[in-house]
């Protein structure tokens, strides 16, 4: 008995030290009991045994021309514009503010195109050429059209490298373009992009909507305003504007199409101003707030809040708080409607304006004159 007990103790110590694991053999699983057997499945039916990818090698496809070549061609026609404007500060008095913009040479005898907002109110305008030459320009040689945000500057220079003008009516969405200018006043730069939209209309200011704009992915920054937007042939097809790019969108820039710009530029060069029919009022679209605040008799139309002394509107008897509802028989609901109606008329034309004053609806005849020069 003692020997048997000793043997059991020794066996227990051997198993604990060796960590032996006794594995119980399992019977093999019969193929007939497997749940994943596929011996009874048929092979898949092919869609098309003869199919091959449609890979084409078109040797007529050409690479884009070098943007560097385009930039090198156009850069001599691009100018930087630096301005100084005097602003009144309530506490410090008159303060000089500096600004920067861009422009481009449209005529070899010293005619430069830019945006109106680049030079508006400036008392000092300096044009810096690509070759480093600078020209200071008197304000009397700056010709502006605020309505289209365009301006022309005349400098005393000849034999300048004028840019080539292209045809913006042939543009397509997806075309490559290059914006050149003086972004942030850091000197001439170029930025490529594509056209993302054509014939775009954009409200850029109170009562000012620009039409036939080119929308582009090319970056437009402050200082780019007035610079050229060119195609890959180096032809100017638009005039960029950071003012429009800052309206409230990201990743999109805007340019005035050259088709729209050229007639304005031509008038500025030939006449010194753009001559349009002139009514002589300041107005605002009537809404519920204005109607309630000023106790207007109607809640639609255009309310007059200023009549220029001696203007056609003044001579026709229009007064402050009159609400214009029709212009030559056309219904007027916004001030943009009124502006469009005026600009669609002719200088010297007599037009019928219907307005509401108090409880009365009246019609008067207005003799439109030519617009005065911008101040």
List C-alpha distances in Å: 15 to 2, 3, 11, 21, 191: 20, 19, 6, 9, 81
| CB-based contacts of 188, cutoff 8 Å, min separation 6 | 75, 78, 80, 130, 180, 181, 182
Nearest to 108 by CA among 164, 154, 160, 163: 160
The pLDDT-based confidence of 226 (bands split at 50, 70, 90) is very high
Q: Highest mean pLDDT: which of 5-14, 210-219, 246-255?
A: 210-219
- What integer pLDDT is reported at residue 302 of this predicted model? 95
Q: Is the pLDDT of residue 13 over 90?
A: no
Lowest mean pLDDT among 51-65, 121-135, 348-362: 51-65
- What integer pLDDT is reported at residue 61 of this predicted model? 61
pLDDT tens per residue across span 90-123: 677 778 889 999 999 999 999 999 999 999 999 9
The pLDDT-based confidence of 170 (bands split at 50, 70, 90) is very high
- What integer pLDDT is reported at residue 11 of this predicted model? 53
pTM of the model: 0.72
Q: Is the pLDDT of residue 237 over 50?
A: yes
Catalytic residue among 77, 102, 145, 149: 149
Q: Which helix (H) or strand (E) holds 84?
A: strand 78-89
What is 270-303 written as a DSSP string? HHSS---EE--EEEEE--HHHHHHTT-S-SSSEE
Q: How many whole angstroms from its chain centre is CA 279?
A: 30
Q: What is the CATH number of domain 68-154?
A: 2.40.10.10
Cα-Cα-Cα-Cα dihedral of 46, 47, 48, 49, to 10°?
Answer: -10
Q: Is the pLDDT of residue 353 over 90?
A: yes
pLDDT tens per residue across span 23-74: 444 544 444 444 444 455 788 888 888 888 877 766 666 666 678 999 999 9
- Is residue 196 part of the annotated active site? The answer reads no
- What integer pLDDT is reported at residue 367 of this predicted model? 96
- In terms of C-beta density within 10 A (0-12 exposed, 13-18 middle, 19 or more buried), how is residue 268 classed? buried
- In terms of C-beta density within 10 A (0-12 exposed, 13-18 middle, 19 or more buried), how is residue 332 classed? buried
- What integer pLDDT is reported at residue 54 of this predicted model? 79
Q: Which residue has the tokens 């307005």?
A: 355
CATH number among 2.40.10.10, 3.40.50.2300, 2.40.50.140, 3.40.50.720, domain 164-271: 2.40.10.10
- Is residue 337 part of the annotated active site? The answer reads no
Q: Is the pLDDT of residue 21 over 60?
A: no
Region(s) of the chain under CATH 2.30.42.10: 277-370
- What integer pLDDT is reported at residue 245 of this predicted model? 60
Average pLDDT on 344-372 reads 94
- What integer pLDDT is reported at residue 231 of this predicted model? 95
Query: Percentage of residues in the chain with pLDDT exceeding 90?
Result: 58
Nearest to 285 by CA among 213, 242, 333: 333
- Is residue 343 part of the annotated active site? The answer reads no
Average pLDDT on 162-166 reads 96
Q: Which CATH superfamily is domain 277-370 in?
A: PDZ domain (2.30.42.10)
- What integer pLDDT is reported at residue 9 of this predicted model? 55
- What integer pLDDT is reported at residue 248 of this predicted model? 55
pLDDT tens per residue across span 179-215: 999 988 888 899 999 999 998 887 766 556 788 899 9
Catalytic residue among 168, 225, 257, 311: 225
Region(s) of the chain under CATH 2.40.10.10: 68-154, 164-271
Nearest to 240 by CA among 227, 259, 257: 227
Catalytic residue among 117, 145, 168, 311: 117
Helices vs strands, H then E, count in the chain: 8, 22
- In terms of C-beta density within 10 A (0-12 exposed, 13-18 middle, 19 or more buried), how is residue 278 classed? middle
90 close to 113: Cβ distance less than 8 angstroms: no
Q: Which helix (H) or strand (E) holds 142?
A: strand 142-145
């Amino acid at each position: 008995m003692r020997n048997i007990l000793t043997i059991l103790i020794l066996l227990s110590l051997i198993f604990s030290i060796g960590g032996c694991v006794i594995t119980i053999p399992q019977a093999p699983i019969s193929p007939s009991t497997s749940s994943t057997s596929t011996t009874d499945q048929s092979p898949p039916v092919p869609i098309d045994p003869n199919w091959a990818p449609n890979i084409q090698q078109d040797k007529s496809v050409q690479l884009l021309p070098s943007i560097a070549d385009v930039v090198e061609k156009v850069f001599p026609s691009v100018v930087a514009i630096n301005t100084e404007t005097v602003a009144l500060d309530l506490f410090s008095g008159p303060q000089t503010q500096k600004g920067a913009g861009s422009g481009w040479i449209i005529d070899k005898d010293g005619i430069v195109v830019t945006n109106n907002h680049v030079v508006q109110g400036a008392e000092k305008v300096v044009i810096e050429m690509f070759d480093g030459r600078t020209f200071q320009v008197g304000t009397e040689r700056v010709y502006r059209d605020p309505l289209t945000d365009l301006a022309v500057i005349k400098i005393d220079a000849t034999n300048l490298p004028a840019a080539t003008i292209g045809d913006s009516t042939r543009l397509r969405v997806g075309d490559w373009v290059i914006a050149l200018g003086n972004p942030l006043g850091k000197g001439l730069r170029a930025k490529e992009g594509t056209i993302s939209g054509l014939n775009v209309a954009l409200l850029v200011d109170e009562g000012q909507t620009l039409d036939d704009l080119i929308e582009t992915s090319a970056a437009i920054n402050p200082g780019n305003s007035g610079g050229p937007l060119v195609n890959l042939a180096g032809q100017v097809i638009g005039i960029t504007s950071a003012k429009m790019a800052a309206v409230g969108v990201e990743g999109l820039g805007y340019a005035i199409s050259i088709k729209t710009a050229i007639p304005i530029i031509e008038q500025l060069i030939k006449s010194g101003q753009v001559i349009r029919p002139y009514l002589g009022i300041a107005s605002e679209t009537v809404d519920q707030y204005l109607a309630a605040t000023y106790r207007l008799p109607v809640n639609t139309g255009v309310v007059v809040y200023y009549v220029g002394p001696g203007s056609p509107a003044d001579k026709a008897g229009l007064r402050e708080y009159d609400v214009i509802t029709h212009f030559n028989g056309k219904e007027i609901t916004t001030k943009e409607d009124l502006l469009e109606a005026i600009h669609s008329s002719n200088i010297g034309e007599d037009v019928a304006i219907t307005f509401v004053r108090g409880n009365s609806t009246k019609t008067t005849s207005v003799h439109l004159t030519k617009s005065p020069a911008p101040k």
